[in-house]
Chain A
C-alpha cells in the first residue's frame, strides 16, 4: 500500500465560506440540495444542514455569545467523511462495494452498491446517505480519481485559508500537533485534536483541530463500531445479506419510478 493520505481540517482558520461544499459538488457533479431551494434553516448561516448523499462536505456554524457580548465567537467547521482506519461502513457492507484504497481511504463503489443502507446505519458520524439522483449510498471519496493522477481533492484545493489540508497522514499529524501547540501557547485552552491518534476507530484519516468539545460540533465523543447484531448480520450471513440487498434494490427501484412519474407530470 502507498502512504496513507487524508485530510487535516483546522477549524481555527475556517471562514465558513463553503468553497469546499461547492468545489466538491462541481468536481463530483452532485445535485444541489432540494433543487437549490431548501428552506432557510435559521441555524446561523447553515442551510444544507448535514452531510448527505448529495452534500459530501458540510460547513457547520456555531454561534457562542454571552448575553452582554463580552464573550463571543463564531465557530465554523467543514465536516466530511472521516475515512476511518477501522471503518464501520466498510465492515458492514454486504456486497463489498465499500473498499479501502491504496491511499488508505474508504470509497463506496456505487456500481457495486445494492442500496441496502447498512452503511448508513453503521456510520457513527452520520456521513453516508442516499444520493437522490443516483439512488445509491454515497459519500466523500477523497477524490479517489484525482488522487490517482496526483491531484489534490477538489475541496482542499479550493479552500482559501488552508483550513482543509490534504497530504500524507504522518505529515498532517505533525502539522496538526504544531498548530495545536501554537494555539495553546496563544491561550486557546480548549483547542484539541479529534481523531488524530489511533484510539478512535483505529484513527481517522480525516481528522480535526477543534476549538471546543466535539459535541459542540455535533461530533460523537466516543464513536463506536456498529452493534454486534448489525455487524454479524451483515458479514456472517450470506443469506441475510442477499435478502437485505434485494429489499434495498427493490425499494430504490420503486422510488425511482415515482420520481420519474413526477418528472413527466
Chain B
C-alpha cells in the first residue's frame, strides 16, 4: 500500500500514530513492511491457506464464540444459519473438488476460445428451500409492466437453523471446510512461521468486535491468480465472521490500480457487463428477448428486483425515441456476446487471425501478459489505432520491438496499417474519474492541448459521427440498431468549444439520466427510474450525480469542517446515492443502535435511519420490521437485513450462486508451482482457464528446469508498463533500470552479484535484468523443501527516457474461470548469471 498507493497510506500512518496495529502479509519486505508492526512473509500465491488458517483460528477462539457481538452479527447478518442442498459435497469430501465437476462441453462453435478445461454443474451448491412457493399477493401487483414477471420469479423461503447446529447449515460446512487449515498447515503451505501466524491471528481478533474494527486492504497481489476472486471472497468470509463489514474502519478494501478503473468497471468498457453491473446479453444464456433476459437475470427480492427499470432506462440511453415498449425497447438490436471476449482469449483470437482491427486507447498490450504472444497477435491485425499520451510500445511494435531489433522479423513482413493519435493530458480536458472508493471527482480543463493532441472523447465522438454518415443510407437490417443509436453530444454553444469536441456534461447527463420527454429534467435518484420508457438512464448506480443541469455533484469541492465527524459528503459524489460505506445498516445492531459509541456510523432515530453517512437501507423501514415473503424487492427483506443487494439480505459466507469455481475458497497451487499441493490431491483449480499453444506452455509442478517462484509488481516511482512514467526524466532518474530482487542465498548459489546481469527464463521467454541482491527477500521452507522466490517490477519496455526488457515476456495466458484474470503474481522461473 505504501508502495503503490502512498497517499492512501497517509491514513494508515495517521491511524498508526493513534495506536493502530499494521500487519503486512507479502512475499517481499516492501516499503509497506517497513512501517508494519507485524510482518508475515508468505510464498506468493498461498494466501487462501493463510486466510483459511485465520478463519479456522477465529472459529476456535473462545472470545469469538462467547461474545454476543460476533454471534448476533453472524446469525442475523450472514447466511451462517441457512441450510445447503443435501447434494453438496465439499473439497474436504472429494480431495480438492466440489460436487458437480465435469468436462467442459459448453460454448458455441463460432467462439471456441473460452479457455475452460472443466466446469461445475452447480445445482448442488444452492440453498435448501421450504416445500411451497409463496402465493401471489392478493392485490396491487400490476403497478409496472414487468411487475408480474418479477413476482413470478419468487422462490419458496430458504430453510434455516438459527442454532447453527444442523450439519448442513452454512456455519457447519464452513467449519468443516477449514478444519485442516491449522497453524502448522499454514506454515507448511505458506512458509510463514507458526508464531508469526498466531500473532497475526491474535492481533486481528483483538482488534475486531463491538468497539474495534479491522480493515483489510489488497491490490492485484490478491487478484492476479487462477483463484483471484476466491482470495477476495476468503477475506470477505473472514471479515463477515468478525463483524467487520458495513462498519467504519472495516471492510475489504480494493486498492485499484488506475485512476478510473472503478469507473470503467461501473461504466463497463468490459465485454461481459453492461452499465451498473448488469450482465451483457449472451448467446449462451436464455436471453432471446428482453423478458427472457429479465427472467434470467433479475431477482424477485432485494435491490435487483428493480432490474427491469435499470435495463429499460439503459436501452433508452442507447436508442432514444426508437426504443419503445412495442419493440422491446430496442433489445433486439443489442449485440450478444458469444463467450469469453476478455483480454487473454482476444489475443489468442488475434494470433489465430480472427481479429482484424483494434482500437487501443490508454493501454499497452505490447508489454502485457505473455507479451511475445500479444505482439504475435498485433502483427496479424489489418489495422490498429493507438491513441495515447506518448508513443507506447503498442504504437511501435512493428518497428522497434525486440523481435524487430534482433532481425527475426522485418517491418516489411507486417501488413498492419497503424494509426497514432496523440492524446490531450488530464489538465487539458475535463471530465470525471471514479476512484477506488467509488467517489466521482470532476477535473477541470486548465489549458489547451498542443498541436494535434485531442481528448479521447473527441476521437470516439468523431469516429461515431463518420460511421453514422457511412451507414446513413444502409437498408440492411443489421445496421438498423446503429442507425437508431442516439449520437448528439455537440456543445450547445459551439463558440466556446474546441472544434469537434463533444460536451462531457451531455455525456454525464446521459449516464445520470433524465426524463425521456424533457432531457433538461435530470433524474435525482435511481428510485425515479421507470420500466415504461419514460426515463432514460445509462447507469442506474450513477443516477443522482448530476441531478440538475447546474448541479454537477462530482465537481463539489467542500470538505467537512475540521474536527467534525463526517464522511465529507460534499466532496465529489460516491455511487450509489452518495453513500460512502456500503451496507452501513450493519454498523447498527438488530435494534438499530450503533454497536458501540466509538463505532457510530448509521442508526435508527425512532422514525428513520440517520447517521454520518447516507444510510444504505430503506429510509423509513424500522429495524424490527419482519420479512414479508409475499412481497418483492427490498420489501421482502426484514428490518435487520443489511445486505440489500443480496436476494436474502445477508452477507454470504457460503456463495450459493455467482461463482463458477466453488462456493467456498480452497487452497490450490498456482498453475505453475515448485511444490505439490500439501492440502489436496488436486494440484490446481480444476476449472482454471488455460489457452494451450506452443508459445504459451506451462511448467509442470516441480519442474527442475524452473525451480524458483517469481512474482511481478509495481514500484512507487513508476506506473504500470511505464507508458506515462518512463517518459518523465524526474521519475526515470528515481528508478532507471529494470532489476530482479533476490536473496543473497540465491544470488550466491548462482554466482550473481549486486548490479550484475541476470538472465531470467520461463517456458514462455527469457529476459535480462540487473540483480538487486537483498535480504528483503528470503528463502521459504515449503512442504519440506527450500523454495527461493524472486521479484521483478514490470515497468520497462523499449520506449521512453529509460528502457529495459519486457518482464511480461515471462508470463502466461492462464487465468481464473470467473473473470479471466491472468496469473502474474505467482509462477516459476530459472535464473542464471548473464
A and B touch in the complex (CB under 8 A): yes
A positions within 8 Å CB-CB of B: 13, 15-19, 21-22, 25-26, 31-42, 44-45, 47-48, 63, 65, 67, 69, 72-76, 160-162
B801 to chain A, nearest CB (A): 4
If the complex has contacts A37-B801, A40-B736, A47-B735, are A161 and B730 also in contact, measured as CB distance less than 8 A?
no
Chain A interface, >50% SS class: loop
- Taking a contact as CB atoms under 8 Å apart, the answer to whether B34 and A47 are in contact is no
- Taking a contact as CB atoms under 8 Å apart, the answer to whether B2 and A40 are in contact is no
Picked from B2, B41, B729, B778, the residue with its CB within 8 Å of the CB of A17 is B2
Give the complex CA separation of A65 and B775 in angstroms.
Answer: 6
Given contacts A15-B6, A37-B801, A41-B755, 19 further A-B contacts (CB under 8 A): A13-B13, A13-B16, A15-B2, A15-B9, A17-B716, A21-B734, A32-B730, A32-B733, A36-B730, A37-B732, A37-B736, A40-B736, A42-B772, A44-B774, A63-B775, A72-B29, A74-B31, A76-B31, A162-B13
Return chain B residues, CB-CB under 8 Å to A35. 729, 801
Number of interface residues of B (CB under 8 A): 39
Return chain B residues, CB-CB under 8 Å to A25. 730
Return chain A residues, CB-CB under 8 Å to B715. 45
Of all chain A residues, which has the CB nearest B727? Answer: A36
- Taking a contact as CB atoms under 8 Å apart, the answer to whether B10 and A161 are in contact is yes
Of all chain B residues, which has the CB nearest A41? Answer: B755
Return chain B residues, CB-CB under 8 Å to A160. 6-7, 9-10, 13
Q: Count chain A CB atoms within 10 A of each CB in B6, B33, B716, B731 and give the residue with the most.
A: B6
If the complex has contacts A15-B35, A74-B33, are A38 and B736 also in contact, measured as CB distance less than 8 A?
yes
Give the complex CA separation of A246 and B728 in angstroms.
Answer: 37
- Which residues 745-784 in B have Cβ within 8 Å of A in the complex? 754-755, 770, 772, 774-776, 778
A186 to chain B, nearest CB (A): 10
List the 10 shortest-distance A-B pairs measured between CB atoms, nearest first.
Answer: A36-B729, A32-B729, A65-B775, A42-B755, A36-B732, A40-B737, A74-B34, A15-B2, A17-B6, A36-B801
Of all chain A residues, which has the CB nearest B726? Answer: A36
- Taking a contact as CB atoms under 8 Å apart, the answer to whether A38 and B733 are in contact is yes
- Taking a contact as CB atoms under 8 Å apart, the answer to whether A48 and B733 are in contact is yes
Return chain B residues, CB-CB under 8 Å to A47. 733-736
Of all chain A residues, which has the CB nearest B738? Answer: A40
Give the complex CA separation of A56 and B706 in angstroms.
Answer: 45
Picked from A31, A72, A161, the residue with its CB within 8 Å of the CB of B9 is A161
A242 to chain B, nearest CB (A): 37
For the complex, is B161 an interface residue (Cβ under 8 Å from A)?
A: no
Return chain B residues, CB-CB under 8 Å to A34. 733
Of all chain A residues, which has the CB nearest B731? Answer: A22
Q: Count chain A CB atoms within 10 A of each CB in B716, B728, B736 and give the residue with the most.
A: B736
Return chain A residues, CB-CB under 8 Å to B802. 36-37
Picked from A18, A31, A67, A72, the residue with its CB within 8 Å of the CB of B729 is A31
Give the complex CA separation of A214 and B6 in angstroms.
Answer: 26
- Which residues 1-47 in B have Cβ within 8 Å of A in the complex? 2, 6-7, 9-10, 13, 16-17, 29, 31-35, 41
Return chain B residues, CB-CB under 8 Å to A32. 729-730, 732-733
Give the complex CA separation of A47 and B10 in angstroms.
Answer: 24
For the complex, is B827 an interface residue (Cβ under 8 Å from A)?
A: no
For the complex, is B717 an interface residue (Cβ under 8 Å from A)?
A: yes
Of all chain B residues, which has the CB nearest A76? Answer: B34
Give the complex CA separation of A158 and B34 in angstroms.
Answer: 20
Picked from A15, A41, A67, the residue with its CB within 8 Å of the CB of B31 is A15
Return chain B residues, CB-CB under 8 Å to A22. 730-731, 734
* Subset of 13 A-B contacts with CB under 8 Å: A16-B31, A19-B6, A26-B730, A32-B732, A36-B736, A37-B801, A39-B736, A40-B739, A40-B770, A42-B754, A48-B734, A72-B775, A73-B34
- Taking a contact as CB atoms under 8 Å apart, the answer to whether B10 and A74 are in contact is no
Give the complex CA separation of A73 and B34 in angstroms.
Answer: 6
Q: Count chain B CB atoms within 10 A of each CB in A17, A40, A41 and give the residue with the most.
A: A40
Of all chain A residues, which has the CB nearest B737? Answer: A40
A176 to chain B, nearest CB (A): 14
Q: Count chain A CB atoms within 10 A of each CB in B9, B34, B734, B770 and give the residue with the most.
A: B734
If the complex has contacts A32-B729, A65-B776, A160-B7, are A18 and B734 also in contact, measured as CB distance less than 8 A?
yes
Give the complex CA separation of A222 and B739 in angstroms.
Answer: 37
Give the complex CA separation of A162 and B11 in angstroms.
Answer: 11
Give the complex CA separation of A150 and B801 in angstroms.
Answer: 36
Give the complex CA separation of A16 and B6 in angstroms.
Answer: 10
Return chain B residues, CB-CB under 8 Å to A33. 733
Of all chain A residues, which has the CB nearest B743? Answer: A69
Give the complex CA separation of A19 and B774 in angstroms.
Answer: 24
A9 to chain B, nearest CB (A): 14
Give the complex CA separation of A21 and B772 in angstroms.
Answer: 22
Of all chain B residues, which has the CB nearest A12? Answer: B35
Of all chain A residues, which has the CB nearest B34? Answer: A74
Give the complex CA separation of A184 and B777 in angstroms.
Answer: 29
A191 to chain B, nearest CB (A): 14
Give the complex CA separation of A162 and B716 in angstroms.
Answer: 17
Give the complex CA separation of A76 and B778 in angstroms.
Answer: 21
If the complex has contacts A26-B730, A38-B736, are A74 and B2 also in contact, measured as CB distance less than 8 A?
no
Of all chain B residues, which has the CB nearest A69? Answer: B778
Picked from A36, A63, A67, A74, the residue with its CB within 8 Å of the CB of B733 is A36
- Taking a contact as CB atoms under 8 Å apart, the answer to whether B733 and A17 are in contact is no
Give the complex CA separation of A162 and B739 in angstroms.
Answer: 30
Return chain A residues, CB-CB under 8 Å to B754. 42
Return chain B residues, CB-CB under 8 Å to A41. 755
Give the complex CA separation of A47 and B739 in angstroms.
Answer: 12
Give the complex CA separation of A160 and B29 in angstroms.
Answer: 20
B42 to chain A, nearest CB (A): 14
Return chain B residues, CB-CB under 8 Å to A26. 730
Return chain A residues, CB-CB under 8 Å to B776. 63, 65, 72, 74
Return chain B residues, CB-CB under 8 Å to A31. 729
Give the complex CA separation of A47 and B754 in angstroms.
Answer: 14
- Taking a contact as CB atoms under 8 Å apart, the answer to whether A40 and B35 are in contact is no
Give the complex CA separation of A48 and B772 in angstroms.
Answer: 16
Give the complex CA separation of A258 and B41 in angstroms.
Answer: 53
- Taking a contact as CB atoms under 8 Å apart, the answer to whether A18 and B31 are in contact is no
B463 to chain A, nearest CB (A): 35
Give the complex CA separation of A35 and B801 in angstroms.
Answer: 8
Give the complex CA separation of A36 and B736 in angstroms.
Answer: 7
Give the complex CA separation of A48 and B2 in angstroms.
Answer: 20
- Taking a contact as CB atoms under 8 Å apart, the answer to whether B734 and A161 are in contact is no
Contact with A along B408-447 (1 / 0, CB 8 A): 0000000000000000000000000000000000000000
B723 to chain A, nearest CB (A): 15
Give the complex CA separation of A142 and B17 in angstroms.
Answer: 26
Of all chain B residues, which has the CB nearest A31? Answer: B729
B792 to chain A, nearest CB (A): 13
Of all chain A residues, which has the CB nearest B729? Answer: A36
- Taking a contact as CB atoms under 8 Å apart, the answer to whether B774 and A18 are in contact is no
Of all chain A residues, which has the CB nearest B5? Answer: A160
Return chain B residues, CB-CB under 8 Å to A19. 6
Give the complex CA separation of A37 and B10 in angstroms.
Answer: 30
Give the complex CA separation of A67 and B775 in angstroms.
Answer: 8
B55 to chain A, nearest CB (A): 27
B267 to chain A, nearest CB (A): 29
Return chain A residues, CB-CB under 8 Å to B770. 40, 42
Return chain A residues, CB-CB under 8 Å to B734. 18, 21-22, 47-48
- Taking a contact as CB atoms under 8 Å apart, the answer to whether B10 and A17 are in contact is no
Of all chain A residues, which has the CB nearest B774? Answer: A63
Return chain B residues, CB-CB under 8 Å to A16. 31, 34, 716
Return chain A residues, CB-CB under 8 Å to B2. 15, 17
Return chain B residues, CB-CB under 8 Å to A36. 728-733, 736, 801-802
If the complex has contacts A37-B732, A38-B733, are A161 and B13 also in contact, measured as CB distance less than 8 A?
yes
Give the complex CA separation of A72 and B196 in angstroms.
Answer: 14
B767 to chain A, nearest CB (A): 16
- Taking a contact as CB atoms under 8 Å apart, the answer to whether A40 and B755 are in contact is yes
Give the complex CA separation of A25 and B9 in angstroms.
Answer: 23
Return chain A residues, CB-CB under 8 Å to B7. 160
Give the complex CA separation of A18 and B732 in angstroms.
Answer: 12
Q: Count chain A CB atoms within 10 A of each CB in B16, B33, B733, B802 and give the residue with the most.
A: B733
B96 to chain A, nearest CB (A): 32
